[in-house]
Amino acid sequence: MMKIKWVKHSLALAGALLLSGTVSAQNALESQAVQWLQEFVRIDTINPPGNEYRAVDFYAQIFEAEGIEYETAESAPGRGNIWARIPGGDEPGLILLQHTDVVPADREFWSFDPLSGDISDGYIYGRGTRDMKGLGIAHLVAFLELHRSGLPLNRDVIFLATADEEAGGEFGVGWLIDNHPEIFEGVGILLNEGGGGSRIEDDVTFGVEVTQKVPVWLRLKAIDEPGHGSSPRVTSSVTRIVQALNTLMENPFPPRVIPPVQEYFAGLSVNMTSEWRAAYANLASAINDPDFMQRLHAERPGHHALTRDTCSMTRFEGSNKINVVPPTAWAELDCRILPDKPAAQFVSELETLVSESGVEVEVIMAFTPAISTTNSRLYRAIESVTGELHPGSRVLPSVSTGFTDSHFTRDLGIISYGFNPMITDQGEHTGVHGNDERVPEAVFRRGVSDFYAVIRNVVYD
């Protein structure tokens, strides 16, 4: 169900937080952002089931207080999406895209309530503080400040908060593209999650995600003669699955280097220790060294995953009774491929690899590869603003091992970047998709202000 709201501007709220350039106004803005993040984390949007309508209600109340027109739509019961637009000039529009769902959290393995939103020891705690309710609030603050300023913009700016990213985006961006294409009309650039700032000693690097490994989720299925567990046959549905999985384990996909990965590694090499510097600077050669690849896999698995296609074995099912050999068995693979070939080619290669086991390969989900150019005003703004705010820092195009909703918008031809100005120190615990997710309050505050500085650089002439 879609609704449109329009109410009078809340002068008291706007006046209290209007960014005037003073330290007190800046502090007030950041404090309000912290409060909003705490409130947002406490809203249960764990997916499954999502219930993102709760996030829609949260944002709708803020927009109503600000006098901002907005629209909402549910792709399925409870799967809410919300968007708002500030009209501007004729330059291609800018979307600030966020997802409002979060992954599950098991209280047994956390040191605190996963939906607490509490502040302790300088940290804001809770599921979503990093992925991605914290960055979502930075989007909100920037959008509100553009609205409050009343200054003419050179382009439309669209705030878009969607459902279901953590499960593939079928009820979020994917559904909106099919059912509300007007949101994306005239849009040329987009900011989303996927990149971030990192600090190693005094070296600060901002990674801007320009492409991502393509998810190809597969199910291996086997059928064979069932029977009693006391009389094993030569083959069974379970042994066929095990044979296929063993083949995959013993035959890792060959390493290769695509240009964005080479550029990213070369940029990282500048301030690396001698044991890594040469290999990172010339990755195309280093991947031919088994010792380097083994060490990279053991010590830096995230970087290792950028050098080849991968498949993680995540689910497996055979019989429901210990003494019964089942007629069917299956296993599921979370495969991620580099974005230099179509998913269909990868699936064909994998089918050939496991063909002797006699399993059937079913595609559960597969996206299309796409790479965003760095030749844009938005990318240059990220470079110039972060360089000014963090002297000596560097900006590198990066490749994400995970996927985001940017794959949808890249398919539309929209230049889409993953960018988060919040800086994480090397070795710092973040808890993203794990236990005890948290963000330092000071880092979050600075990130909110830095993000707005980038946006201003893009939308004002």
Alpha carbon 446 to its chain centroid, in Å, reads 21
For residue 198, count CB atoms less than 10 angstroms from its CB and return exposed for 0-12, middle for 13-18, buried for 19 or more: middle
Q: How many CB atoms lie within 10 A of CB 273?
A: 7
Lowest mean per-residue pLDDT among 14-23, 116-125, 382-391, 433-442: 14-23
Evaluate whether 133 touches 100 at the Cβ level (below 8 Å).
Answer: yes
**Percentage with pLDDT > 70 across the chain:** 95
Residue 10: predicted pLDDT = 32
Dig out the tokens for 23 from the structure. Answer: 């330290």
Q: Is the alpha carbon torsion for 164, 165, 168, 174 positive or negative?
A: positive
The half-sphere exposure of 19 on its side-chain side, counting CA atoms within 13 A, is: 22
**Percentage with pLDDT > 90 across the chain:** 92
Does the pLDDT value for residue 11 go beyond 90? no
Residue 56: predicted pLDDT = 98
The DSSP element (H or E) to which 404 belongs, if any, is none
Residue 138: predicted pLDDT = 98
CA-closest candidate to residue 52, choices 84, 97, 85, 99: 99
Does the pLDDT value for residue 9 go beyond 70? no
Alpha carbon 102 to its chain centroid, in Å, reads 11
Separation between Cα atoms, residue 139 and residue 454, nearest integer Å: 11
Q: What is the arithmetic mean of pLDDT over 195-219?
A: 95
Domains 3-194+404-459 and 213-366 share a fold: no
Q: What is the arithmetic mean of pLDDT over 387-404?
A: 96
Q: Is the alpha carbon torsion for 388, 393, 394, 398 positive or negative?
A: negative
Residue 24: predicted pLDDT = 79
Q: Provide the whole-model pTM.
A: 0.91
Q: What is the arithmetic mean of pLDDT over 406-410?
A: 97
Mean pLDDT score of the chain = 94
Separation between Cα atoms, residue 233 and residue 30, nearest integer Å: 67
Residue 54, classed as helix, strand or coil, is helix
CA-closest candidate to residue 333, choices 249, 456, 420: 249
Q: Are strands 80-86 and 70-74 parallel, antiparallel or unpaired?
A: antiparallel
**Given pLDDT bands bounded at 50, 70 and 90, which one contains residue 201?**
confident
Residue 3: predicted pLDDT = 44
Lowest mean per-residue pLDDT among 209-213, 215-219, 388-392, 424-428: 424-428
Helix residue ranges per DSSP H, 282-405: 283-286, 290-299, 301-304, 343-353, 377-389
Does the pLDDT value for residue 170 go beyond 70? yes
Residue 165 CA: distances (Å) to CA of 210, 455, 456: 18, 24, 27
CA-closest candidate to residue 399, choices 266, 197, 285, 262: 262
Q: Are strands 415-418 and 187-192 parallel, antiparallel or unpaired?
A: parallel
Residue 14: predicted pLDDT = 38
Evaluate whether 451 touches 142 at the Cβ level (below 8 Å).
Answer: yes
Q: What is the arithmetic mean of pLDDT over 434-459?
A: 98
pLDDT tens-digit readout, 236-281: 999 999 999 999 999 999 999 999 999 999 999 998 889 999 999 9
Degrees, nearest 5: CA angle 195-198-199 = 170
Separation between Cα atoms, residue 143 and residue 136, nearest integer Å: 11
Dig out the tokens for 316 from the structure. Answer: 């497996």
Phi, psi of 231, deg, nearest 5: -130, 75
CATH number of 213-366: 3.30.70.360
pLDDT tens-digit readout, 55-103: 999 999 999 999 999 999 999 999 999 999 999 999 999 999 999 999 9
Domain locations in the chain as residue ranges: 3-194+404-459, 213-366
Residue 390: predicted pLDDT = 97
Residue 23: predicted pLDDT = 74
The CATH classification of domain 3-194+404-459, taken from the options 3.40.630.10, 3.50.50.60, 3.20.20.140, 3.30.565.10: 3.40.630.10
Separation between Cα atoms, residue 325 and residue 226, nearest integer Å: 5
Residue 8: predicted pLDDT = 30
